[in-house]
A and B are shown apart, each in its own frame.
Chain A
């Protein structure tokens, strides 16, 4: 996030990412039955299950009073060629066993949908948010167009480019994975290329922003010089530094 750290070479970087991992929900402690059922499943779709990571969900079994021994269960799962990467819903004993097996324990969150296929896109959700995901079937994220004023406290997230024809008030936040265009006053925060697109740009007619950011490189209002304030500008990234440049408007 430091804009002046361009000269420091770095060896590693932590990034946040989310993955879709199959969860194995168990309802019995009969290890023979588990092994048999697993082998049947794997035989039906060997390519899908080959070396597949797996999270073991023990909550249901524990609720039913089944006593699953984690050492034994993990042994069976590895034997059929799957890689357990964690457990959830375990009791104290099972969590201790997981620790010994160097498996992380995950919490059961209410957001998990029970069936595997029903993936739900979870956007950054804050109270008066306006979800503006373009509902088209085109694979490329479409442009989101906003024609009403974006007021203080509102948040807009666009999967692709974001075009705003109205003012963006102080205390509002507009976020796009692509470029941002504001054909009016930009007084709130504008974050372009939030998934890491360093080519993304911000264009606005009247720069009064509280914060501008491209791919995580940001400047706050205080750092915006008077020479660009209130001007029509474009903002882009060059060598990890934000460049703010006048746009020549021909009338």
Chain B
């Protein structure tokens, strides 16, 4: 049975698209046929992060308006042939999305794909609403600072009350917390909320912590999802997250300071 995953946050710039690209790639690399959809109509970014911006012909809105078939619009990823990208339209706005149209496209994708990752735009308006409406699982991407945490909390409220599952009284959406741009050093200095602080406010199952890392920016600039950079800490953190989501038990990394061991040794 196909599962629809929404990657959402409320706040902008916290790493939704980076996360969508990484986990979609991770799921595909593990052998699951996966599609990733850019819901940020008018502010198309996912194609850049996936490095397929020069191969976009048709987009999500074309499919919704039945100007193109799904197969015409889906772009096969250059690194993994089980991964497909459905780009957003850059020349339209969120009003081009309709609940009925989005539902139809998702239903069609469900026939052929195991996982469908919906990359939500920021905000809580139409684009974000439709990205999460049909979801089975939600990855709530949060930065360790108060405004991001509050926006995530708001988004969790909407997931619990305004989604299809909520409206039809079905089992609620599975919600997972992804803490991104985490820097143990800065937590220690009191400049950032700790994992415990965030957990205390959101009381949500922690799927993983992504450390603040140069590799994320490098990956974005080169158009390869960071999870493919297997040497990088962020890439490994995303690989852990995908494994945990698929049911594996992996200990959390990147929460403690890397130098913690030596500091303990030398009393630093």
Binding site for B on A (CB under 8 A): 128, 130, 148-154, 166-167, 169-172, 187
A148/B150 contact (C-beta < 8 A), A167-B203, A169-B201 known? no
A and B contact pairs by CB, cutoff 8 A, 21 listed: A148-B172, A149-B160, A149-B203, A151-B153, A151-B154, A151-B156, A151-B157, A151-B160, A152-B150, A152-B154, A153-B153, A154-B160, A166-B203, A167-B203, A169-B150, A169-B153, A169-B157, A169-B201, A170-B201, A172-B157, A187-B201
In residues 154-189 of chain B, which contact A (Cβ within 8 Å)?
154, 156-158, 160-162, 172
Q: Is the interface of A mostly helix, strand, loop or mixed?
A: loop
Q: How far is the CA of A187 from the CA of B153 in the complex (A)?
A: 12
Minimum C-beta distance from B204 to chain A (A): 9
When distances are taken between beta carbons in the complex, the residues of chain A under 8 Å from B153 are: 151-153, 169-171
A128/B157 contact (C-beta < 8 A), A152-B150, A170-B150, A171-B150 known? yes
When distances are taken between beta carbons in the complex, the residues of chain A under 8 Å from B162 are: 128
Minimum C-beta distance from B131 to chain A (A): 16
**Most chain B beta-carbon contacts within 10 A, residue among A128, A167, A172:** A128
Minimum C-beta distance from B149 to chain A (A): 9
Q: How far is the CA of A203 from the CA of B216 in the complex (A)?
A: 47
Q: How far is the CA of A149 from the CA of B157 in the complex (A)?
A: 8
Minimum C-beta distance from B12 to chain A (A): 17
A130/B161 contact (C-beta < 8 A), A149-B203, A151-B156 known? yes
- What is the chain A residue whose CB lies nearest that of B155? A151
When distances are taken between beta carbons in the complex, the residues of chain A under 8 Å from B154 are: 151-153, 171
When distances are taken between beta carbons in the complex, the residues of chain B under 8 Å from A128 are: 157-158, 161-162
Say whether B161 contacts A154, CB under 8 Å: yes
Minimum C-beta distance from B188 to chain A (A): 23
When distances are taken between beta carbons in the complex, the residues of chain B under 8 Å from A166 are: 203
